[in-house]
C-alpha cells in the first residue's frame, strides 16, 4: 500500500525556527494567544523544547513530523497506530520517566520514547496531518488519546498504542492512584489544546524542582505565565523563580504588573517594594 497524502494543518504564516529573528518565547506566546482549535500542538511543543536546546530548528523538526505522517500506509486510526507503535516502536520510557527529554518533542521523535502526554501529542499531530480525527484526554496521572469517530475508543500511546474502552481507562486510573481512588467519567472528556501545552509545562516544572534547576524553573514559569489561562499564582511563581536567581528588578516588575491588574492585590505591591529594596 502506498504512503498516505500529507495535509499539514498549521496556522497561516511561515514556520519558524529558533535561529534568526524569532524568539521562541515570543513565538510561543503568539501561538497560544490564538484560537484554541487552531493551536498547532507540534510547534508549541517544539518551542518548549527550544528552551532546553537553544538554537533548535523548529521548522526542520516540523518537517521531520511531516515525514513521519507520509510513512503511514493507511490514513486511519488503525493505520496510524500500526505505523507509530508496531512498525516504528514508539513506546513509553519506563526506565527514566522524569528525564526532561521525555517532554521534548524533538527528542521523543528521535529516540522513539517519551511520556504519555508527548507520545499522545505526537499521535494527535501525525493524525491531524492525515485527517484522522483525535482528541487528547487529560486523565489524572496518565494522558490518553480518544477517537472522535467512535468516542468509546481510547488509545494509550505509552503502552505502545494499546486500544482501551472506558472500563479499561478506569482500570488504568486505579493502577496509578489506588484501588479506592474516586474515578470521575469526566476524566475521559477531551481537553482544549492549550491545556495539553500547559500540562507539558507542569511536568517540566516538576522536573525542574526535583533537579533544583533554577534556569529551567525560570523559563518554564515564564512560559506558563504567558498562557492566556495563566492565574495570578503563575505570575507569582515567575516572580519567585526570578528572585531565586537574584533577578530582583525583573521579579519586581512582574509583581508590579500583577498588582496593577484586576486580580492583583496589595501584597503583590508590597512584595515588589521589598524586592526593589534589595537592589540598593
The helix/strand/coil state of 113 is: strand
Nearest to 270 by CA among 280, 259, 278: 259
> Average pLDDT for residues 246-260, to the nearest whole number?
92
- Closest CA relative to residue 271, chosen from 236, 247, 242: 236
Alpha-carbon Rg for the chain, nearest whole angstrom, is 20
Domain boundary among the residues 124, 158, 188 is at 188
CA-CA distance, 235 to 261, in Å (whole number)? 11
Mean pLDDT of 201-207: 96
10-28: b (≥16 Cβ within 10 Å) or e: beeeebbbbeeebebbebb
If asked whether residues 270 and 142 sit together in one domain, one would say no
- Boundaries of domain holding 271: 231-277
- The predicted model scores a pTM of 0.89
- Alpha-carbon distance of 124 to 91, in angstroms, equals 15
Question: Which residues on neighbouring strands pair with residue 136, listed in sequence order?
Answer: 145
Q: Does residue 19 lie in a domain region? A: no
pLDDT score for 264: 66
Alpha-carbon gap, residue 59 to 263, rounded angstroms: 37
Q: Which of 128, 162, 188 is the last residue of a domain?
A: 188
In a domain, 105, yes or no: yes
- Residue 218 domain-assigned (yes or no): no
- pLDDT at residue 20 greater than cutoff 90: no
Establish if 11 belongs to a structural domain.
no
Examine residue 223 and state whether it is found in any structural domain, yes or no: no
Q: Report helix, strand or coil for 34.
A: coil
96-115 residue pLDDT tens: 999 999 999 999 999 999 99
- 146-170 residue pLDDT tens: 999 999 999 999 999 999 999 999 9
Instruction: Identify the residue with better confidence: 14 or 131.
Output: 131
Euclidean distance between CA atoms 250 and 238, whole angstroms: 10
Q: Is the domain of 258 the same as that of 142?
A: no
Average pLDDT value over all residues in the chain: 91
Count of positions (residues) in the chain: 280
Closest CA to 146 of 190, 202, 111, 211: 190
Residue pair 118/105 in contact by the 8 Å Cβ criterion: yes
What's the CA gap between 50 and 90, in Å, rounded?
Answer: 22
The bridge status of strand 91-92 relative to strand 113-114 is parallel
What is the pLDDT at residue 74?
94
Q: What is the mean pLDDT of residues 18-31?
A: 81
Burial (Cβ within 10 Å: 0-12, 13-18, ≥19) of residue 237: buried
What pLDDT is attached to residue 266?
82
Instruction: Say yes or no: 164 and 249 in one domain.
Output: no
Does residue 179 sit in the same domain as residue 247?
no
Residue 222 domain-assigned (yes or no): no
Q: How confident is the model at residue 279 (pLDDT cuts 50, 70, 90)?
A: confident
Amino acid at each position: 500500500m502506498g504512503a498516505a497524502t500529507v495535509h499539514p494543518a498549521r496556522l497561516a504564516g511561515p514556520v519558524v525556527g529558533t535561529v534568526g529573528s524569532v524568539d521562541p518565547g515570543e513565538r510561543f506566546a503568539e501561538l497560544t494567544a490564538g484560537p484554541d482549535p487552531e493551536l498547532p500542538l507540534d510547534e508549541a511543543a517544539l518551542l518548549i523544547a527550544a528552551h532546553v536546546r537553544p538554537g533548535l530548528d523548529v521548522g526542520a523538526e516540523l518537517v521531520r513530523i511531516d515525514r513521519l505522517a507520509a510513512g503511514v500506509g493507511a490514513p486511519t486510526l488503525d493505520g496510524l497506530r500500526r505505523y507509530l507503535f508496531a512498525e516504528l516502536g514508539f513506546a513509553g520510557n519506563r526506565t527514566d520517566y522524569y528525564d526532561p527529554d521525555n517532554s521534548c518533542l524533538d527528542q521523543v521523535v528521535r529516540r522513539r520514547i517519551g511520556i504519555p502526554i508527548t507520545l499522545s501529542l505526537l499521535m494527535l499531530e501525525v493524525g491531524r496531518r492525515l485527517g484522522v480525527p483525535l482528541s487528547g484526554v487529560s486523565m489524572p496521572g496518565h494522558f490518553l488519546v480518544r477517537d472522535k469517530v467512535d468516542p468509546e475508543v481510547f488509545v494509550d500511546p505509552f503502552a505502545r498504542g494499546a486500544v482501551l474502552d472506558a472500563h479499561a481507562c478506569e482500570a488504568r486510573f486505579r493502577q496509578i492512584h489506588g484501588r479506592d481512588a474516586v474515578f470521575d467519567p469526566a476524566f475521559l472528556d477531551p481537553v482544549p489544546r492549550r491545556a495539553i501545552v500547559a500540562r507539558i509545562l507542569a511536568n517540566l516544572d516538576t522536573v525542574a524542582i526535583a533537579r533544583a534547576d533554577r534556569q529551567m524553573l525560570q523559563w518554564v514559569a515564564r512560559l506558563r505565565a504567558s498562557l492566556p489561562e495563566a492565574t495570578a499564582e503563575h505570575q507569582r511563581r515567575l516572580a519567585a523563580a526570578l528572585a531565586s536567581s537574584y533577578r530582583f528588578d525583573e521579579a519586581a516588575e512582574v509583581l508590579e504588573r500583577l498588582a496593577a491588574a484586576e486580580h492583583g492585590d496589595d501584597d503583590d505591591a508590597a512584595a515588589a517594594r521589598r524586592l526593589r529594596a534589595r537592589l540598593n
